[in-house]
Chain A
Amino acid sequence: MSALVIAEHDHGSLKGTTLNTVTAAVACGGDVHVLIAGHNAGEAAKQAAKIQGVAKVLLADAPQLAEQLGENVAAQVLALAGSYSHLLFPATAHGKNVAPRVAAKLDVAQVSDVIKVLAPDTFDRPIYAGNAIATVQSADKIKVLTVRTTGFDAAPADGGNASVEPVSAVADGGFSSFVGREVTKSDRPELTAAKIIVSGGRALGSSDKFTEVLTPLADKLGAALGASRAAVDAGYAPNDWQVGQTGKIVAPQLYIAAGISGAIQHLAGMKDSKVIVAINKDPEAPIFSVADYGLEADLFTAVPELVKAL
């Protein structure tokens, strides 16, 4: 029995989500290997080799893997899949794109968003926006899993000493081509990796207010910024800030929800946070039912006050 973790990386470095996925792979039992499919990705492979619990790193390095196009990465995984009992992807946009393509080609079921490994073939996963937890068992020979990274601790990034083994890269499938990327440049921590998140809702009222009120607090705390769906729909915050069932799933040490009422779809994305603070002037807002500390106040006065008090 052995598991292959399909790493998330930007060629030059490994993304944190890979570490959580390694922990899930270790829980499946057996050896853990990591695949780096990329271009000029030697540095990412070196980092993967240092992760505790990793026995071997496979490096497929070729220009056709540079843009991480789903079809090519899936083909790369399929070229190696035969020798593994488990294929694990982080449940990120990239992992979710590739994993089902691999599973279908192998004619096996995929278990999405695994939050717990109960046995090598039995897993817990949330359904209905996390309002229920299903325990599922797979009889398939190869288990294809996406791992909800908030469900597993990060494996230590140092201390391992795995070998890096080059593997031949698959040819370009010619299915799709890369046109461009607009990545939000920010000095803030990444939403899914942040220790503190300041999140805003529709009550902010405008994009300007969203920035004006929440940025100083996020700056002070070194926090990432998040938003409710309502705030994103209203154009107050970019799409990729959305926290919730269909957006990002986060579990920071501290989550500050300002002017967020707390629809179940939003709670689905943040209720595993260690400490939740809710600032809302509506005493009946559902967010208070999950908040450790609720402050019933107008956010436009409370948030600046909070910035001053910190």
Chain B
Amino acid sequence: MKVLVSVKRVVDFNVKVRVKSDGTGVDIANVKMSMNPFDEIAVEEAVRLKEKGVVTEIVAVSCGPTQCQETLRTAMAIGADRAILVETTEELQPLAVAKLLKALVDKEQPQLVILGKQAIDDDANQTGQMLAALADLPQATFASKVEIADGAATVTREVDGGLETIKVTLPAVVTTDLRLNEPRYVTLPNIMKAKKKTLEVVKPSDLGVDVAPRLKTLKVAEPPKRGAGVKVPDVAALVSKLKNEAKVI
């Protein structure tokens, strides 16, 4: 069984981004970039399925600029077998990425597509569901447990108030939540091995996809600042403030 995993190159989660003074976006020049944490979980899940003997081949895909090759090498160091970069310098919005992935799903015919539930830069939480819609596939989003058997995936999903389990027939799209697994550390020998794996580069036009953005960003601004309040010396002072000043209890 073949699995397609999509990975996004994003500003590292430890970086506190700054809004550009001209309001056109956030400053990501010379900022550390990493694989989106949820996508790392997606790759790890695919590798674990391969280690269990359920999956035979893992194809990692990334859409974006040339530098996404690094992200794909990381995916291959975790255990993906080969990689495809859909290279473009255009701004890619979730619908465009979903269309690119749909074209690759048509070409590669995977039984399972695993994606992170959201990217930590645009926080959209859309691409997996959109891909499922475009490819007319079942979707199991926000997965915290995935079991594959008899041509179906039984997926436990994180929902408001608890957990929900659904069964989807394969092929299907799964998006990962935080607690699906803990991605392994990449080892040096695996990084070396990953350099020898195949990385194919295609353009959106090769896939016949128009990636023009649909949403226009008019401006990007700092959120309203919340100032620090006061330190209180003890519990009694805290209770008095909450009762008399804030009047919330």
Contacts and interface: CB of A to CB of B under 8 A. Distances in A.
Among A122, A274, A277, A302, the most chain B Cβ lie within 10 Å of the Cβ of: A277
Nearest to A15: B160
Given A133-B222, A190-B161, A229-B178, A294 B230 contact: yes
B90 to A, nearest CB: 15
Contact of B120 (A70, A105, A129, A288): A129
A240 B246 contact: no
Contacts of B19: 131-132
Nearest to B96: A109
Interface in B179-236: 179, 214-223, 226, 228-232, 234-236
A176 B226 contact: no
B215 A109 contact: yes
Nearest to B140: A176
A169 to B, nearest CB: 19
Contact of A70 (B141, B162, B236): B141
Contacts of A289: 228
Interface string A43-82: 0000000000000000000000000011100100000000
A308 B26 CA distance: 47
A203 interface: no
A100 interface: yes
B91 to A, nearest CB: 12
Interface residues on A, range: 35 or more
Nearest to B223: A133
Contact of B123 (A99, A126, A238): A126
Interface in A146-190: 175-184, 190
B162 A240 contact: yes
B220 A110 contact: no
A9 to B, nearest CB: 13
A107 B220 CA distance: 25
A264 interface: yes
Nearest to A146: B125
Contacts of A110: 94-95, 124, 126, 130
A28 interface: no
Contacts of A97: 129, 139, 141-142
A207 interface: no
Contacts of A179: 154, 165-167
Interface stretch (B9-17, B50-58, B65-73, B105-113): B9-17
Contacts of A98: 129
Given A132-B222, A289-B228, A69 B166 contact: yes
Nearest to B158: A239
A306 B178 CA distance: 33
5 contacts: A92-B160, A104-B95, A132-B17, A132-B222, A176-B138
Interface of B: 11, 13, 16-17, 19, 26, 38, 93-95, 98, 117-118, 120-134, 137-142, 144, 154, 157-169, 177-179, 214-223, 226, 228-232, 234-236, 238-239, 241-242, 246, 248-249
The 3 closest A-B pairs by CB, nearest first: A100-B129, A292-B229, A109-B214
Given A132-B223, A133-B223, 5 more contacts: A96-B129, A96-B141, A100-B126, A100-B129, A179-B167
Interface of A: 69-71, 74, 92-94, 96-105, 107-113, 122, 126-140, 175-184, 190, 192, 196, 221, 229, 232-233, 238-240, 242, 245-246, 248, 253-254, 264-265, 271, 274-277, 288-297, 302, 305-306, 309-310
